[in-house]
Amino acid sequence: YPIEGYFIFTTAQVLTYKMKQDATRNAAYTVDCEDYVHVVEFNPFDSGDPGNLIAYGGGNYVVVGICTFQEEEADVEGIQYKTLRTFQHGVRVDGIAWSPETRLDSLPPVIKFCTSAADMKIRLFTSDLQDKNEYKVLEGHSDFINGLVFDPKEGQEIASVSDDHTCRIWNLEGMQTAHFVLHSPGMSVCWHPEESFKLMVAEKNGTIRFYDLLTQQAILSLESEQMPLMSAHWCLKNTFKVGAVAGNDWLIWDITRSSYPQDKRPVHMDQACLFRWSTINENLFATTGYPGKIASQFQIHHLGHPQPVLIGSVAV
């Protein structure tokens, strides 16, 4: 999430929504892609460049590009997008996670990210955008991988959760350094932004657990009391807040007050699919619904408003 932008994706397009004027609108900007797009991730870390690194994955490729918005550069009209590199992947891309080691202001530049794929493997990509383009395969999961994330401080470990009822921690050599058995499929995993020994794991059965990676023990758990929990996210601006979607509702916890949600509200008629906090405002978050036959719905919510502050309907 750049400073004033909120981003989602549909097949064959990357779409940008902006919180201005009335709540319902079409995409403000569109970037045409050569094939279907399954997943999009902006780099959440500082890359040393005023632009925003973005990666999107399709049936057998990952494209890394850079977006610059007029809020960041006065001479840019709307959006300026440039593809930096296309990586052949060989299998459908299901997830992308950026490494904090990615830098565009180093010589040579460093692009580092990992993917989860339909073959249940993780691939760690490293590139200097010139001659060096390498990837390493991390094998161990026996079912689909639903979430993965880098350690945000050093970028030396990767956490992943899967339908195989496990959360696994990997080093950059591909070795597993920790392994947690879950009670149901793992749906989301988040690392504490400052305390890199704390990990949050959300399970489909509605339980969210926090693990201490030093003792490899669970230290706290939250309960949604409804299923299926499809996505959860730790608020980086206020780590006492956790958000999730389960069934048709979004749910918010204050972990200092209760293990049960402080607030919840129905949000998508069919079923809610994804939950993401804003990286710059602890009261803003986004949800998506499952794609229907014609369209998929995207909403931005503010905890101070009873209704969504933005609604977008996106053609599938």
The answer to whether residue 128 is domain-embedded is yes
What per-residue confidence (pLDDT) applies to 19?
37
Show the CA angle centred on residue 19, arms to residues 237 and 148, nearest 5°. 45
The answer to whether residue 47 is domain-embedded is yes
What per-residue confidence (pLDDT) applies to 24?
59
Residue 222 has pLDDT above 60, yes or no: yes
What per-residue confidence (pLDDT) applies to 162?
97
The answer to whether residue 199 is domain-embedded is no
40: number of CA atoms within 13 Å, CB side? 23
The answer to whether residue 65 is domain-embedded is yes
Its domain, for residue 134, covers 31-139
Q: pLDDT tens for residues 278-314?
A: 988 999 999 999 877 667 788 999 998 989 999 988 7
The answer to whether residue 99 is domain-embedded is yes
pLDDT band of 196, cuts 50, 70, 90 = confident
What per-residue confidence (pLDDT) applies to 314?
74
- Tell me which of 27 and 46 has the higher pLDDT: 46
> Per mean pLDDT, which of 23-27, 50-54, 69-73, 252-256 is the most reliable?
252-256
Choose the weakest-confidence range: 57-71, 92-106, 158-172.
57-71
Residue 221 has pLDDT above 70, yes or no: yes
The answer to whether residue 129 is domain-embedded is yes
The answer to whether residue 242 is domain-embedded is no
> Per mean pLDDT, which of 112-126, 264-278, 293-307 is the most reliable?
112-126
Residue 5 has pLDDT above 80, yes or no: no
Mean pLDDT for 246-253 is 95
The answer to whether residue 51 is domain-embedded is yes
Among 194, 195, 145, which residue's Cα sits nearest to residue 170?
145
What per-residue confidence (pLDDT) applies to 171?
95
Number of compact structural domains in the chain: 1
Residue 128 to residue 111: CA distance in whole angstroms: 6
Q: Tokens 């793992």 — which residue?
A: 186
- Do 299 and 308 contact (CB within 8 A), yes or no? yes
